Structure 1
Amino acid sequence: MNALLTAVSAAGPMACGWGVHGLLLGRRLTAARRDPLSGLWTRAAFERQALRILGRQMHTALVLVDLDGFKALNDRYGHAAGDAAIRHTAASLTDALSSYPGAVVGRLGGDEFAVVVPLPGTHTLPWLLDALHDAITAPFRHEDTDLTVGVSLGASLSSDLLPAAPQGGPEALSLLMRLADEAMYTAKRAGGGWCDPAASTPGCTTTAGRRTGRPGTTAKEVAA
């Protein structure tokens, strides 16, 4: 009995040490999957989570986000302002998606971001895109100056892939990324803003009755 108690007593600190080690390791792994500047998921981590969502949800939107005027902002105000724009975009995306349970957002690199959002129905996509656009293009403060960046958004819907591609899996994610990328560049060529994937005109000059190339598509100083 004494030998058993001695063994248990000796194992206690070791088990505690392994528990702490496991906790620290888990935190390090999570940190490695997070972009250090924005705090968002890195591309690989984002894609893993996107695949899980696509496998569970019928109506899922994939949105690609590309800032407009980012180089001009860097050139005029310096790289610190560019970093502030990246952090502002990350915070804006996170805030705008707070009312969409299960949404995942990541930074693909540079000034490019991606979002996967489970939707209650395809009719809600324009509201989502409008909310993301307005949040990102809102002024942000940097060194006592209000700045803005523009943004081009492109979206694709998982339910539009059926029956051409399976609901989930790498094939579906790759196709959704390509379609969203095409829509994003269509919006960018039209002057920025967002493009509904259901829009019938290739130029996508209007979306839901609103002008796609709205103000805020270049970096500028805003009067306080």
Structure 2
Amino acid sequence: MSHLVTATAAVAPLLTGWSATTWWLHRRLHQARLDPLSGLPTRAHFEKGVERLLRRRVPVTLVVIDLDGFKALNDTHGHLAGDAAITATGSRLNRWAAAHAERWVAARLGGDEFAAALTIPHAEGVPGALGTLHENLCAAVPFEGRTLVLGASVGAVWSPHWPLAGRSRLLRGADEAMYAVKRAGGGWRIARSDHIAVASVNGRRPGRPGTHPMGGAR
């Protein structure tokens, strides 16, 4: 028995070390998938999350968001104010998705662009959800004793059944709806069909974040 106790005592530090190393590696991998400002997944992790939702063959709503007035906010109040706006937007988007769906994934695509995919079972529920999202995103952001005011342009696509290969089409539809409402001065819009009028690369208009080739279903 004493030999067993001695052997266990000798091995214990090694096991503890391996556990700590494994935990550290898992934490680093988790952090690498998240944008440090918004706390949301990055584009690559978002695309994987969308694919998982589509595999479930359930109605999926995909939303693309572009903040309005973000450059002016940075120029006027500085980049720390812009960082505060990004952080607040990430938190608001994630809370909104969690309140409106059983399953969802939200992400910061880059710059002041965000996206979310969530399971909303009925098309009738999408307008109200988008209205709430737009209201939340446009709420003032507290920063150093003052408030920052931003707008948002929100485009969305709802699909009752979309094949896995349609992920880029969903992104294109939501992106086009967002772009149309942005040109009209902001607000939200739902794409009414899967007809895409604007040329795109990897689900985004040319020149937008994420238009460089990436792996995955197209």
When the two structures are superposed, what TM-score results if normalisation uses the length of structure 2?
0.81
2:79 aligned with 1:79: yes
**Per-residue CA shift, 1:48-74, capped at 9, x if unaligned?**
112111111411111001001111111
4+ long deviations beyond 3 Å? 1-9
Aligned position for 2:189? 195
Q: CA RMSD in A?
A: 1.9
Q: Which runs of 5+ in 2 are unaligned?
A: 194-218
Q: Which runs of 5+ in 1 are unaligned?
A: 200-224
Measured after TM superposition, the shift of residue 5 of structure 1 is 5.1
Aligned position for 1:50? 50
Report the identity percentage: 46
Measured after TM superposition, the shift of residue 198 of structure 1 is 2.8
Quick one: structure 1 residues 188 and 160, their matched pair in 2 at CA, closer, same or farther if it must change by over 3 Å?
farther
Is the deviation greater in 15-24 or in 129-138? 15-24
Distance 2:183 2:135 in 1: 19
Aligned position for 1:128? 129
Does the 8 A contact of 1:54 with 1:158 survive in 2? no
Aligned position for 1:178? 172
Measured after TM superposition, the shift of residue 101 of structure 1 is 2.2
1:15-164 equivalences in 2 (<5 Å): 15-99=15-99, 100-159=101-160, 161=162
Measured after TM superposition, the shift of residue 95 of structure 1 is 2.2
Distance 1:103 1:66 in 2: 19
Is the deviation greater in 89-98 or in 39-48? 89-98
**Per-residue CA shift, 1:195-217, capped at 9, x if unaligned?**
12238xxxxxxxxxxxxxxxxxx
Measured after TM superposition, the shift of residue 109 of structure 1 is 0.5
How many matched pairs? 193
Does the 8 A contact of 1:35 with 1:41 survive in 2? yes
Distance 2:192 2:144 in 1: 41
Distance 1:74 1:180 in 2: 26
Quick one: structure 1 residues 184 and 113, their matched pair in 2 at CA, closer, same or farther if it must change by over 3 Å?
same
Does the 8 A contact of 2:174 with 2:190 survive in 1? no
Aligned position for 1:219? none
Paired residue type of 1:174: S
Distance 2:131 2:160 in 1: 20
Q: The residue matched to 1:153 in structure 2 has which SS? A: strand
